[in-house]
Amino acid sequence: MIKNTMYRSEEEGIKIIKLPVLFWHLDKVNLAAQVIDTPYELIGQDAGKMKLMFTDKIHKEVNVKGKLSLPELENVTLRFVKITIRPAHREKARLFPVSENIELKIPLVVGKGRYESYECFFPLFRESFHCYRKDQITVLGEHFAREILRKEDPLELYKMLLYAEPKLDEIRIKVNHKEILTSVFRDFSTTSTLEQIAERIPHRKGIRRKISIIPQTAWEQKEYIESLIGKNWL
């Protein structure tokens, strides 16, 4: 577990952000690594050097170029979602299932974000979802993972059986506190009235395509909010 994901440095104006990194053993020598909720991945042989490369690259992107948004997560943990699925070949509108089910162990990185929500990441799929109740993370994780896996080619599913179990690590990035960027989903203005009547729905594109199949996962009160805007209450 990565406990204190973000804290202020003694150096004035500097913030230290811890970013979760996942490492996989590809074989006895080579490693694959991914910085969660960023576009960065590496393959190498030395985990320490790979972390330094990530740190240097991300530090430049944030502090020099100002191009990268960083996730701010607390109490990051690595979980595994077990999914039993029967691979099926697809040919136009027809499915041809194989003879047996397979069980996959899908890594899920979970961290507590801002606004008391949990941000959950599937590193293998580059997909994520938000959850507002800790006791629903596993159920939602199983649901989303199964929906993603159903679309995968059987060959890709069988490859996943060979993946080594990943390990959770971290890197630390120093950022100028005045210049720090936050994710577009977490950087919007709020009002106390709006927070009382509408749930935050910061789902990403991949999740918005699936949200309609989960009743009551997200909702809004469009007419009520519009009436409050008309009265200048928001």
For residues 109-132, average pLDDT: 91
| Interval 202-217: pLDDT, tens | 445 454 455 444 444 4
For residue 99, the model assigns a pLDDT of 83
Q: Residue 74: is its pLDDT beyond 50?
A: yes
Quote the pLDDT of residue 32. 96
Name, in order, each residue with C-beta under 8 angstroms of 169's C-beta and a sequence gap of 6 or more.
20, 21, 22, 23, 47, 51
Which of 42-51, 115-124, 202-211 shows the lowest per-residue confidence on average (mean pLDDT)? 202-211
Looking at residue 195, what is its pLDDT?
A: 47
Average pLDDT over residues 181-208: 44
The pLDDT assigned to 178 comes to 55
**By CB neighbour count within 10 A (0-12 exposed, 13-18 middle, 19+ buried), where does 208 fall?**
exposed
- Determine how many CB atoms are found less than 10 A away from the CB of residue 205: 7
* pLDDT band, very low/low/confident/very high, at 62 (cuts 50, 70, 90): confident
Contact indicator for 14, 174 with CB cutoff of 8 Å = yes
